[in-house]
């Protein structure tokens, strides 16, 4: 179990980045950290790995206390692996050699098998003999992940792990990597801007704002009941509107175009005027004016400007 107890950290005395953070993570659990750029996601990963000397608080992994650079000649705890945004690989040796360097030289056969297994996880088998300097940014990022897994860590800390990888590869890589970590019972903390990392693959989601943890729980629950717009906006466009005098947050898929006669008396419905339609691939995002407020909703086709429509609003949550 990871136990983070009341930690605080700032790069200078005047500027606190993490203010009194406490949370826990079980062995094998996956946590996603989200929040706006500069909110402290990378700083928190560094603190957990042991790259920072904390001003206050403690971090324990099982019975071991995580200590910063002041306590270690080589900072970073052995039982964790951390893949930073600037993955530092060896450019002049091959992909396979980069991974193998972290495996025991005394068991060459096992080391070869393990390297092959990890090359499959990161879908880089055909690049085994390519020199790292000749890889793209996304490919380097994948090699850095494989290298971090070479000596199975107890926890993997990933900073924007798929940031440089195209969508097509990203989805299949995510499925493979997170399934692999679950199979091996390796805990994982991912700092990300990508809602898919949290919604589809994490057991827990933590949201940071203004130096504080403002949400920490099951991703589905946080998605379904965001306590503020900042949180909802991590997942989708979000409507912050007033309905019958109540301030509410609604995702575009919670507002539906209905025919007048279908109006469900249980739901609030109202007239709106279409302003714009934006093609989104499998649906259109429609911008409309309702009661002097701008709303966005999803629809299966585009709608002509100035069309009058009836919208129904799903049961809603009150925001702050």
Ligand X SMILES: Nc1ncnc2c1ncn2[C@@H]1O[C@H](COP(=O)(O)OP(=O)(O)OP(=O)(O)O)[C@@H](O)[C@H]1O
CA-wise closest residue to 6 among 24, 30, 29 = 24
Give me the residues that bind ligand X (CB under 6 A), please: 11, 17, 35, 37-43, 191
Question: Running DSSP on this structure, what letter comes out for residue 80?
Answer: E
Look up residue 16 and give its two tokens: 């606190």
Q: Are 143 and 150 in contact (CB under 8 A)?
A: no
CA-wise closest residue to 50 among 63, 64, 62 = 64
Complex with ligand X: residue 37 or 129, whichever CB lies closer? 37
Burial class (CB in 10 A: 0-12, 13-18, 19+), 263: middle
Q: How far is the CB of 203 from ligand X (least distance, A)?
A: 21
Q: How far is the CB of 281 from ligand X (least distance, A)?
A: 26
Complex with ligand X: residue 38 or 292, whichever CB lies closer? 38
Complex with ligand X: residue 30 or 41, whichever CB lies closer? 41
Alpha carbon 45 to chain centroid distance?
13
- Measured CA distances, 170 to 98, 146, 163, 233, 261 (Å): 22, 15, 9, 22, 44
Q: How far is the CB of 149 from ligand X (least distance, A)?
A: 22
Complex with ligand X: residue 186 or 191, whichever CB lies closer? 191
| CB hemisphere CA count around 298 (13 angstroms) | 14
Q: In what order do the strands lie in the sheet with 2-10?
A: 16-25, 2-10, 56-61, 64-65
Q: How far is the CB of 41 from ligand X (least distance, A)?
A: 4
Q: How far is the CB of 18 from ligand X (least distance, A)?
A: 8
Strand segments (E) across 175-315: 187-191, 204-209, 212-217, 239-243, 246-250, 255-258, 268-279, 284-290, 293-299, 308-313
Q: What is the rounded end-to-end Cα distance, in angstroms, of the chain?
A: 34
Q: How far is the CB of 37 from ligand X (least distance, A)?
A: 3
The Cα 66–Cα 51 span in angstroms is 9
Q: How far is the CB of 40 from ligand X (least distance, A)?
A: 4
Complex with ligand X: residue 38 or 245, whichever CB lies closer? 38
Complex with ligand X: residue 28 or 75, whichever CB lies closer? 75
Complex with ligand X: residue 42 or 154, whichever CB lies closer? 42
Q: How far is the CB of 31 from ligand X (least distance, A)?
A: 15
Complex with ligand X: residue 41 or 147, whichever CB lies closer? 41
């Amino acid at each position: 179990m990871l136990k983070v107890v009341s930690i605080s950290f700032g790069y200078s005395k005047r500027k606190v980045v993490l203010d009194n953070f406490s949370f826990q993570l079980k062995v094998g659990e996956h946590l996603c950290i989200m929040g706006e750029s500069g909110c402290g996601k990378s700083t928190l990963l560094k603190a957990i790995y042991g790259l920072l000397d904390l001003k206050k608080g403690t971090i324990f992994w099982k019975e071991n206390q995580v200590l910063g650079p002041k306590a270690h000649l080589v900072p970073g705890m052995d039982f964790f692996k951390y893949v930073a945004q600037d993955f530092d690989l060896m450019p002049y040796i091959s992909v396979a050699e980069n991974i193998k360097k972290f495996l025991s030289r005394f068991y060459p056969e096992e080391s070869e098998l393990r390297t092959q297994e990890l090359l499959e996880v990161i879908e880089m088998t055909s690049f085994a003999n390519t020199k790292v300097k000749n890889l793209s940014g996304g490919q380097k990022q994948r090699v850095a992940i494989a290298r971090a897994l070479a000596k199975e860590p107890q926890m993997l800390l990933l900073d924007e792990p798929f940031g440089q990888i195209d969508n097509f590869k990203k989805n299949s890589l995510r499925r493979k990597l997170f399934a692999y970590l679950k199979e091996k019972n390796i805990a994982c903390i991912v700092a990300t801007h990508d809602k898919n990392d949290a919604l589809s693959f994490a057991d827990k989601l933590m949201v940071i704002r203004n130096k504080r943890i403002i949400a920490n729980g099951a991703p589905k629950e946080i998605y379904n009941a965001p306590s503020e717009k900042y949180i909802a906006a991590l997942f989708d466009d979000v409507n912050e509107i007033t309905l019958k005098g109540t301030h509410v947050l609604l995702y575009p898929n919670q507002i539906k175009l209905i025919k007048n006669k279908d109006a469900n008396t249980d739901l609030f419905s109202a007239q709106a005027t279409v302003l714009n339609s934006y093609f989104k691939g499998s649906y259109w995002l429609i911008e409309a004016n309702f009661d002097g407020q701008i709303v966005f909703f999803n629809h299966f086709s585009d709608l002509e400007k100035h069309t009058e429509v009836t919208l129904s609003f799903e049961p809603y949550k009150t925001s702050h």
